[in-house]
Structure formats: structure tokens, C-alpha cells
Amino acid sequence: MRIHQKNSVAVVVDIQERLFPHIYEHKELEQNCQILLSGLQILDIPLIVTEQYPKGLGPTIESIQSVVSAYEAIDKMTFSCCADEKFIKILKKFGRHNVILCGIEAHVCVLQTAIDLREMGYQPVVVVDCVSSRKLKDKEVALKRMQQENVLLTSYESILFELCTVAGTDTFKAISRLVK
């Protein structure tokens, strides 16, 4: 199944200040997410940003906030984004089938969101180099579970070029500069 630009929306799940420094390979994750989100904006993919209990975990980290500043974060208490009414209302408004996911933690909020999206008839697409957990093993187990649940797994470079579809355009050139 191909992922098409006109039928896709992206969700940034809980990349927040107080938890982020404890995430496995967080510096690499930060760079990868910046590239992914910048590319998605070049491709005009709408974004939804969530924050899990921001009073305790803080806001979205500054480097990600600077990329997604046009989007107001949805405060949530539920692990799954899909259990939040405001999130579901915004998601439905876009009317798109494919939901591209990045964020933390892979084995909690990202996993539960992906499973719930699948149950609701959406096609979750998890960008594996743009999700992580505090422990590598938790991320690995989460990715295996997601595969069992028919969640599509991809990398940021792969999804950006898949959404781009054709070389030689200004969009392609901008994406190419990002991934170099």
C-alpha cells in the first residue's frame, strides 16, 4: 500500500522537555524528527501535536517547537491520543486515512495510539527512526507489536520520498537537501 500526500496527516506524540533527555539516543531522535517534520511541512502534510500532562512533563522541546510553531499542542492525560476528544475532532476534520506517527514513548503513547487508530479504520504509519523509549528493548518490543497489529513501519527518508513521488521538482530538491 502506497502512502499518498493528499491522504496523509502526521502526529507528533509527546516530545516533551522533562522526559526527552531520558530517551534512548535522544539526540539522534531529535535530529531525525526535525528532518521529518520539516519535510512534512514542505509536502503540506497537516500536523497534530500532542503533549502528555504538560504540567508534569513540560512543553514540547524547543527544537521541535520551532519546527511546528504553527500548530498548537493538544494537552492530554490519556496515553492514546485517540482517547482524547479534542484530538479525534481535529483528526476527523482533516478527513485523511493515513496517520504518520513520530514521538515518545514508543511502547506507551505511540503504541496505544497506533493500535487505536487501526481499530478506528485509519492506517497508522510509524516512522521507526523518529520514535523511541527510555529503554531500547521497550522500543523494539513496541515495534514488533505494531507489526503484529498491521501498523506500517518506515523510516523518515523513505516516507518523505514516498510522499514526494517524483524527482526533479522544487519539492524533491527541498526534501533532498533535508535528508543529506
Residue 109 bears catalytic tag:
yes
From the candidates 14, 84, 116, 129, which is the catalytic residue?
A: 14
Residue 102 bears catalytic tag:
no
Angstrom distances, CA of residue 169 to CA of 3, 43, 107, 152, 165: 19, 12, 37, 27, 10
| Cis preceding linkage at 140, omega within 30 | no
Half-sphere exposure of 150 (CA within 13 A, CB side): 10
Strand, helix or coil for residue 170: helix
Beta bridge partners, 26, equal: none
- Helix (H) / strand (E) element for 101: namely strand 98-104
From the candidates 33, 76, 102, 164, which is the catalytic residue?
A: 76
Picking from 56, 95, 50, the residue whose alpha carbon sits closest to that of residue 68 is 50
From the candidates 81, 82, 102, 109, which is the catalytic residue?
A: 109
Q: What is d(CA 42, CA 148) in angstroms, rounded to the nearest whole number?
A: 32
Residue 135 bears catalytic tag:
no
Picking from 98, 104, 140, the residue whose alpha carbon sits closest to that of residue 28 is 104
- What residues act catalytically? 14, 76, 109
